[in-house]
């Protein structure tokens, strides 16, 4: 693994001009894990206008946060975030000169490491390396405080746990579960972006597992089981599987503000799901037309996941007690004053139904079930 040349150059130039500068965040974490970073971020004590002056062909991206983009590298001034009065975004930011203050505003220990791009020396105030080694995700500071500051961190925790196969620290998980009710306060686009990263990541099933476990997101166990079979799937397939059990996928996709083009594709895949068998089995020209659609492979994949899921459900049924011993007889019912006739049969069947789904197990429970209260 080599450090990106532009990132090296950016750090070197900032330092040559008397500023502190270092690689930071996701790229350091990924580098230490031996993974190719998606993007290279630089943190510096230089103010945004000083950065702009040093890199002529740069442009300001996060004007509010003072982030400058130069040859694909994001150069951000050390900062502290102000209050998050709405649990969504900091109301203000304050530029600071100390690297440690910049580290403290970050969410998880593994996301707050700094690295010298030349010597590869790591500055790690909160033992992110220890957490990576022991495979746990933990926040910087109290997880309750950090999640109340920004509820999106619930989703981010699920995402990072799934992405890097980490356990979620016990206190962090408690905080997630306690604050999950507030998930609705987060800007929907931010949630969607984290969901997309979970869904298209290496282990979507685990990401959804964490979100379901803390009650931040409900999805059917079947959806989760199907997602668990995917790894780094294309976005359209991932979202189609995610929406497969939704009663009104279009409304949900629009609520999450997915772009129209994706909504159209996902709805087409979901619609084709029912047609695939019929069209493919009768070998019609319609099947060929369907196969020309760019999303046809995704539709086939959804069909496969669905079929496997259905088969598994069927096999699960075979493992259940399908012939439970009757808890009550017709005589028992007649002795309790129910007249002989079709009512007896109806009640016996009602009890058997309740036994099959495991709702009643004893004679007493069976009697309670049929005794009007
Ligand atoms: P990825 O590789 O997916 O981009 P990343 O760690 O770079 O992962 P980003 O969302 O790009 O994640 O954020 C970059 C860095 O900014 C993080 O590593 C973290 O230090 C900090 N950060 C981002 N979002 C938050 C947040 N909501 N709260 C605190 N710190 C955050
Ligand atoms: Mg990033």
Q: Is 7 in the pocket of ligand 1 (CB under 6 A)?
A: no
Tokens linked to 69: 């983009």
**Contact indicator for 186, 87 with CB cutoff of 8 Å:** yes
What is the structure's pLDDT at 160? 98
Smallest CA-to-CA distance from 125 within 99, 87, 157 is with 99
What is the structure's pLDDT at 256? 97
Q: For strand 167-168 and strand 136-137, is the pairing parallel, antiparallel, or unpaired?
A: parallel
Ligand 1 atom with the smallest distance to the CA of 112 is 20
What is the structure's pLDDT at 131? 98
Q: Is 74 in the pocket of ligand 1 (CB under 6 A)?
A: no
As annotated, the residues of the chain forming the CATH 1.10.3090.10 domain(s) are 140-233
Tokens linked to 45: 């004590």
**Contact indicator for 202, 232 with CB cutoff of 8 Å:** yes
What CA–CA distance (Å, rounded) separates 3 from 258? 34
What is the structure's pLDDT at 88? 59
What CA–CA distance (Å, rounded) separates 66 from 94? 10
What is the structure's pLDDT at 115? 98
Q: Is 107 in the pocket of ligand 1 (CB under 6 A)?
A: yes
What CA–CA distance (Å, rounded) separates 317 from 311? 10
Q: Is 25 in the pocket of ligand 1 (CB under 6 A)?
A: yes
What is the structure's pLDDT at 185? 94
Q: Is 44 in the pocket of ligand 1 (CB under 6 A)?
A: no
In sequence order, which residues have a C-beta less than 8 Å from that of residue 224 and are 6 or more positions away?
A: 205, 208, 209, 212
- Could you tell me the fold of the domain covering 140-233? cca-adding enzyme, domain 2 (1.10.3090)
Neighbours of 50 (CB within 10 A): 17
Q: What is the full DSSP assignment across 227-253? A: HTT-SS--HHHHHHHHHTT-SSHHHHH
**Residue minimizing CA distance to atom 30 of ligand 1:** 106
Q: Is 106 in the pocket of ligand 1 (CB under 6 A)?
A: yes
Q: Is 42 in the pocket of ligand 1 (CB under 6 A)?
A: no
For ligand 2, the distance from its centroid to the CA atom of residue 37, given in whole angstroms, is: 8
Distances (CA, A) of 168 to 134, 200, 319: 11, 20, 33
pLDDT digit of tens for each residue in the chain (373 aa)?
899 999 999 999 999 999 999 999 999 999 999 999 999 999 999 999 999 999 999 999 976 788 999 999 999 999 998 766 665 567 778 899 999 999 999 999 999 999 999 999 999 999 999 999 999 999 999 999 999 999 999 999 999 999 999 999 999 999 999 999 999 999 999 999 999 999 999 999 999 999 999 999 999 999 999 999 999 999 999 999 999 999 999 999 999 999 999 999 999 999 998 788 777 777 788 888 888 999 999 999 999 999 999 999 999 999 999 999 999 999 999 998 889 999 999 999 999 999 999 999 999 999 999 887 6
As annotated, the residues of the chain forming the CATH 3.30.460.10 domain(s) are 1-134
* Shortest-distance ligand to the CA of residue 193: 1
**Contact indicator for 245, 223 with CB cutoff of 8 Å:** yes
**Contact indicator for 236, 200 with CB cutoff of 8 Å:** no
Ligand 1 atom with the smallest distance to the CA of 81 is 29
SS3 category, 102: helix
CATH number of 1-134: 3.30.460.10
Bridge partners for 79 per DSSP? 95
Smallest CA-to-CA distance from 128 within 146, 104, 147 is with 104
DSSP state of 326: P
**Contact indicator for 124, 103 with CB cutoff of 8 Å:** no
For ligand 1, the distance from its centroid to the CA atom of residue 273, given in whole angstroms, is: 36
Q: Is 194 in the pocket of ligand 1 (CB under 6 A)?
A: no
pTM of the model: 0.87
What is the structure's pLDDT at 89? 66
What CA–CA distance (Å, rounded) separates 120 from 8? 11
SS3 category, 279: helix
- Residue of 82, 111, 131, 202 with the most ligand 1 atoms within 8 Å of its CB, for mutation: 111
């Amino acid at each position: 693994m080599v450090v990106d040349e532009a990132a090296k150059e950016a750090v070197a130039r900032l330092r040559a001009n008397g500023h502190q500068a270092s690689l930071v965040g996701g790229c350091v974490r990924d580098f230490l894990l031996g993974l190719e970073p998606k993007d290279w971020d630089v943190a510096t004590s230089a103010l945004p206008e000083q950065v702009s002056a040093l890199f002529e062909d740069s442009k300001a991206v996060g004007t509010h946060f003072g982030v400058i983009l130069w040859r694909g590298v994001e150069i951000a001034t050390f900062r502290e975030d102000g209050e998050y009065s709405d649990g969504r975004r900091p109301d203000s930011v304050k530029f600071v000169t100390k690297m440690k203050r910049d580290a403290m505003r970050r969410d998880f220990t593994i996301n707050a490491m700094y690295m010298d791009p030349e010597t590869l020396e790591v500055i790690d105030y909160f033992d992110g390396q220890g957490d990576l080694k022991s495979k746990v995700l933990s926040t910087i500071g109290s997880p309750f405080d950090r999640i109340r500051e920004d509820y999106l961190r619930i989703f981010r925790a699920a995402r990072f746990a799934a992405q890097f196969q980490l356990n979620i620290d016990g206190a962090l998980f408690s905080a997630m579960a306690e604050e999950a009710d507030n998930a609705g306060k987060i800007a929907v686009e931010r949630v969607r972006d984290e969901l997309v990263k979970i869904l298209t990541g290496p282990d979507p099933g685990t990401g959804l597992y964490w979100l379901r476990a803390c009650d931040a997101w409900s999805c059917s166990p079947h959806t989760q089981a199907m997602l668990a079979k995917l790894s780094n799937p294309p976005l359209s397939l991932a979202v189609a599987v995610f929406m497969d059990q939704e009663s009104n996928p279009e409304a949900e996709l629009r609520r999450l503000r997915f772009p129209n083009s994706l909504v159209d594709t996902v709805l087409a895949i979901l619609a084709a799901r029912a047609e695939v068998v019929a069209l493919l089995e009768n070998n019609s020209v319609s099947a060929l037309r369907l196969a020309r659609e760019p999303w046809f492979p995704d539709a086939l994949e959804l069909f496969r996941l669905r079929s496997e899921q259905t088969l598994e459900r069927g096999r699960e049924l075979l493992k259940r007690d399908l012939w439970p011993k009757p808890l009550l007889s017709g005589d028992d019912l007649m002795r309790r004053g129910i007249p002989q006739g079709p009512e007896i049969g109806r009640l016996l069947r009602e009890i058997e139904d309740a036994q099959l789904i495991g709702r009643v197990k004893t004679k007493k429970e069976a009697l309670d079930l049929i005794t009007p209260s």
